[in-house]
Amino acid sequence: MTGFKNFILRGNLVDLAVAVIIGTAFAAVVTAFTGMLLSAIAKMLGGEQPNFDNYAPGEVEVGPFLTALIAFLILAAVVYFFVVTPYVKAKERFFPSPEPGTPEDIRLLQEIRDLLATRPQA
């Protein structure tokens, strides 16, 4: 029973569960936004929402693939421009990257190495 308790309370498992729940909820938001964007495009072009499901040149049904591909590209653009880009900017603003150069502990180890190298051999 102790092993099971340790497994359940492990930090990575809880983090993963939270990520899946948030990801699922966020997927619904992004899917709805993509649908709204496709509707806006359809209204601007004066037609119905883009749907290539019936497109089959030479009896090869590529329509569903094209519809899924366009929806994926729109979804990827939404995630990139509205999630990834702001996240990277906020991360860099609040948690800036360390300045380039040698960290203090490495520099200290290098000094010790150099001192040992200059020490006379016995």
63 contacts 52 by C-beta, under 8 angstroms: yes
Q: Please identify which residue in the block is written with the tokens 């990834």.
A: 84
Domain ranges for the chain, please list them.
1-50, 52-122
* pLDDT of the residue at 113: 92
Quick count: other Cβ atoms within 10 Å of Cβ 31? 13
Average model confidence (pLDDT) for the chain?
82
Q: Please identify which residue in the block is written with the tokens 């983090």.
A: 15
Indicate if the pLDDT at residue 33 is higher than 70: yes
How many angstroms separate the CA atoms of 62 and 85, rounded?
33
Cα Rg, the chain, nearest whole Å: 27
* pLDDT of the residue at 122: 66
DSSP for 23-44 reads HHHHHHHHHHHHHHHHHHHHHH
75 contacts 31 by C-beta, under 8 angstroms: yes
Six token digits for residue 10? 């492990």
* pLDDT of the residue at 89: 92
More confident residue, 114 or 53: 114
Q: What is the pLDDT of residues 47-101, one digit of tens each?
A: 777 677 787 888 888 888 888 888 788 888 888 898 889 989 998 888 888 777 7
